[in-house]
Amino acid sequence: MANLKTPDKTLGEGLREIGLSRRGFLKFCAATASMMALPPNLVPAIAAALEQARRPSVIWLSFQECTGCTESLTRSHSPSVENLILDLVSLDYHHTLQAAAGEAAEEARLQAMEANRGQYLVIVDGSIPGPDANPGYSTVAGHSNYDILMETVEHAAAVIAVGTCAAFGGLPQAKPNPTGAMSVMDLVHDKPVINVSGCPPIPMVITGVLAHYLTFGRLPELDAYRRPMAFYGQSIHDRCYRRPFYDKGLFAESFDDAGAKLGWCLYRLGCKGPTTYNACATMRWNSGTSWPVESGHPCLGCSEPGFWDDAGFYEPVSVPIGVTSKTLIEGAAVGAVAGAGIAALARKAKKEAVANRQPVTIDELEQKL
Amino acid sequence: MSGAMGFLLWVKGPMFNIALAIFAIGLIARLVEIFLLGRAPNYAEPRAGEWGPGLRTMLSRTIADPGTFKRAPFNVVVGWVWHIGFLIALLLFIPHIELFKGVLGLYWPGLPNPVVDLVTAVTLITLLATLVHRLWHPVKRRISTTEDYLVWTIVFMVVLTGYLAYHRLVEPYPLALGMHILSAELMLIMLPFTKLTHIFTAFIARWYNGAAFGRKGVQS
């Protein structure tokens, strides 16, 4: 097993070694700055910081997941600057990508933890059966996901939850949540946790967070769900190129009508863009080729908590969840019985009043007064 | 799960069901009670039919007579404007039509969003004007009850939160939308038990009036 201590070589040296030009490097720094909504005058600072940065040791833990997040990262257009950055992170443990297997693989994780105590980053994809759940739902090398996570994060510098399963519980946590799945932030409370949600997340967002960490030595500004503001600060709806059609009230009514062909808004087909915060509309997928809404499909809201349980993918945002006219009919039936009962009581009271009526004459009244 | 999205899922799911059930039970109970109690039997020989004048009065009373307009032009004009505005926003905004389609299966064409937006802004201003007038007018102020202010508040909140959500003036959006849906649910819950019931009983009452006059052979 190679020495897993953070290498002495800086990122700048490493990049030059694999043949990245100064111009290419600065272009990357400029792209990183604009991606993270930083002012352009920070580009030289980013370049200087990245030049000097040491490759951090990264331990990638895969739990209840589908490997889609790893697929997203590795299928980014190659060779891309994302790949370069990833090559230059010391990825010491990753089920899918590491060569080692079995005992040797687990040994690599323990060695990296020991050698970089307090400095390594933990990336988690997949949700974790909680401490009260049956640990047998998901194990690695005979250990429960929960135990591995807790052991690994104990001396980590920070934890990055990649993908909606790790960030919010995702698909495994969807009702009825048979495995008692929990998110990383549900379980890890004493370390900085950053959520890079999405099913899967955009590759540039994963690398962007790493670049930010390398540049500034701290994690970026986060939103209420601990997602980096630079990528999750605006909703899909607000940045959608189909937004003018929403504003004009022009909607596709089905997937093959004239509106769909003209590229009108997909709100009525269930687009969750209004409630979803992600960078798809601006960064797009497959090296900026396209993104779901551009290809004619509504946004599923995959980067939001509870997206599997939020009505149906093809139900508009305004439609309530699990509510049908049955509620109204049943309520009306109960109401009819209640109303009839109240009316019957009122009639009875009226009848009794008529029956017990004691007429009074004017003379009697005058006597009383 | 917590936070804005958890709140939105709650108001869209369990809370919506609760509100709808209370609304349905309360409204039908009150209507059934009104119908079953009926009116006192009239033994006089009818001079004319009930149905025609009843139905006609349902519509004719919608327009204020000249005397009423002269005495209270503000009430008539502003009342009309905000009622129509509220109905347009409720029934012709496309996300609302999707809601009716989802719950009732009924749907109809909507208006472009900018039109609904303008109407909503006008509705908000006129609703504010009704409150100012209520507080400023000595008679109105004397006859206003807590219920009047409560009803005004919930109607105003429904329109205001809808406007804020549409313009995304509250972040994050799931919170804005959740507040709007919750306001509408509170209105649904209050509807059968406050004077908001007039949404359903106003036309019934007008029919009763018109029918009674018709039976006596009197114009109404």
CATH of the domain at A265: 4.10.480.10
Half-sphere exposure of residue A216, counting CA atoms within 13 Å on the CB side?
15
pLDDT tens column, A28-53: 777 777 777 777 787 888 788 777 77
In a domain, A5, yes or no: no
Per-residue pLDDT, B42: 84
Cα of A226 to nearest chain B Cα, Å: 12
Per-residue pLDDT, B178: 95
Phi-psi region of A322 (alpha: psi -120 to 50; beta: other; left: phi over 0): left
Q: CB of B90 within 8 Å of any CB in chain A? A: no
Do A121 and A59 meet the contact criterion of CB atoms below 8 Å apart?
Answer: yes
Question: Which residue is closest to A348 within chain B, CA to CA?
Answer: B37
Domain of A334? Answer: 326-368
Say whether both A308 and A351 belong to one domain: no
Query: In DSSP terms, which residues pair with A29 in a beta bridge?
Result: none
Say whether both A333 and A288 belong to one domain: no
In this predicted structure, the answer to whether residue B53 has a pLDDT above a threshold of 50 is yes
Q: Collect all residues of chain A within an 8 Å Cβ-Cβ radius of residue B201.
A: none
Q: Which of residues 15-34 of B touch A (CB under 8 A)?
A: 16-17, 20-33
Q: Collect all residues of chain B within an 8 Å Cβ-Cβ radius of residue A268.
A: 94, 98
Say whether both A66 and A77 belong to one domain: yes
Q: Collect all residues of chain B within an 8 Å Cβ-Cβ radius of residue A344.
A: 36
A2 — pLDDT class (breaks 50, 70, 90): very low
CB contact set of A294 (below 8 Å; sequence gap of 6+): A241, A284
Residue B96 corresponds to which tokens in the numbers above?
């609302």
Contact A335 B5 (CB under 8 A): no
Q: What angle do CA A217, A88, A205 make, to 5 degrees?
A: 65
Written as one letter, the residue type at B109 is P
In this predicted structure, the answer to whether residue A77 has a pLDDT above a threshold of 70 is no
Residue A84 corresponds to which tokens in the numbers above?
């370069």
In a domain, A4, yes or no: no
Q: Which of A8-12, A235-239, A322-326, B122-126 has the lowest mean pLDDT?
A: A8-12
Residue B12 corresponds to which tokens in the numbers above?
């869209």
Residue at a domain's end among A226, A257, A291: A226
Q: Is residue A29 part of an annotated ligand binding site? A: no
In a domain, A152, yes or no: yes
Query: In DSSP terms, which residues pair with A10 in a beta bridge?
Result: A54
Per-residue pLDDT, B45: 87
pLDDT tens column, A151-184: 999 999 999 999 999 999 999 999 999 999 999 9
CA distance B86 to A183: 43
Say whether both A308 and A342 belong to one domain: no
Q: CB of B201 within 8 Å of any CB in chain A? A: no
DSSP A269: G
A7 — pLDDT class (breaks 50, 70, 90): low
Per-residue pLDDT, A294: 95
pLDDT tens column, A114-137: 999 999 999 999 999 999 999 999
CATH of the domain at A171: 3.40.50.700
Quick one: which H or E segment has residue A354? helix A325-355
Say whether both A152 and A256 belong to one domain: no
Q: What angle do CA A13, A90, A97 make, to 5 degrees?
A: 130
The more confidently predicted of residues B102 and B129 is B129
CA distance A299 to A47: 35
pLDDT tens column, A281-324: 988 888 788 999 999 999 999 999 988 988 789 999 999 888 77
Write the DSSP string, B45-110: PPSS-SHHHHHHHHHHTTSPPHHHHHH-HHHHHHHHHHHHHHHHHHHHSHHHHHHHHHHHS-----
Say whether both A264 and A167 belong to one domain: no
Across chain A, what does the average pLDDT equal? 87
Say whether both A86 and A176 belong to one domain: yes
Per-residue pLDDT, A85: 60
Helix, coil or strand: residue A225:
coil
Per-residue pLDDT, A369: 72
* Secondary structure E strands in chain A: 57-62, 90-93, 121-125, 128-129, 139-140, 143-144, 158-162, 181-182, 193-196
Per-residue pLDDT, A78: 43
Say whether both A196 and A240 belong to one domain: no
In a domain, A6, yes or no: no
Quick one: which H or E segment has residue A353? helix A325-355
Say whether both A30 and A150 belong to one domain: yes
A6 — pLDDT class (breaks 50, 70, 90): low
CB contact set of A43 (below 8 Å; sequence gap of 6+): A26, A29, A30, A33
In a domain, A247, yes or no: yes
Torsion of CA A291, A292, A293, A296, to 10 degrees: 120
CA distance A256 to A253: 8
Smallest CA-to-CA distance from A149 within A175, A176, A181 is with A181
Q: Is residue A69 part of an annotated ligand binding site? A: yes
Class of domain B3-216: mainly alpha
Residue at a domain's end among A175, A194, A226: A226
CB nearest A306 (choices: B5, B21, B115):
B5
Q: CB of B169 within 8 Å of any CB in chain A? A: no
3-state secondary structure A145-185: HHHHHHHHHCCCCEEEEECHHHHHCHHHHCCCCCCCEECHH
Query: Domain total for chain A?
Result: 3
Say whether both A253 and A336 belong to one domain: no
Per-residue pLDDT, A88: 63
Do A272 and A300 meet the contact criterion of CB atoms below 8 Å apart?
Answer: yes
Say whether both A105 and A138 belong to one domain: yes
A79 — pLDDT class (breaks 50, 70, 90): very low
CB contact set of A11 (below 8 Å; sequence gap of 6+): A50, A51, A52, A53, A54, A55, A88, A214
* Residue that the structure tokens 């030059």 belong to: A16
Quick one: which H or E segment has residue B196? none
In this predicted structure, the answer to whether residue B157 has a pLDDT above a threshold of 60 is yes
Q: What angle do CA A321, A270, B117 make, to 5 degrees?
A: 95
Say whether both A222 and A243 belong to one domain: no
Per-residue pLDDT, A83: 58
In a domain, A1, yes or no: no
* Residue that the structure tokens 């049955």 belong to: A326
Smallest CA-to-CA distance from B75 within B64, B84, B86 is with B64
Question: Which residue is closest to A268 within chain B, CA to CA?
Answer: B98
Q: In chain B, where are the structural domains located?
A: 3-216
Per-residue pLDDT, B217: 87
Per-residue pLDDT, A288: 82
Question: Which residue is closest to B100 within chain A, CA to CA?
Answer: A319
The stretch B69-73 carries a mean pLDDT of 91
In this predicted structure, the answer to whether residue B135 has a pLDDT above a threshold of 90 is yes
Contact B12 A310 (CB under 8 A): yes
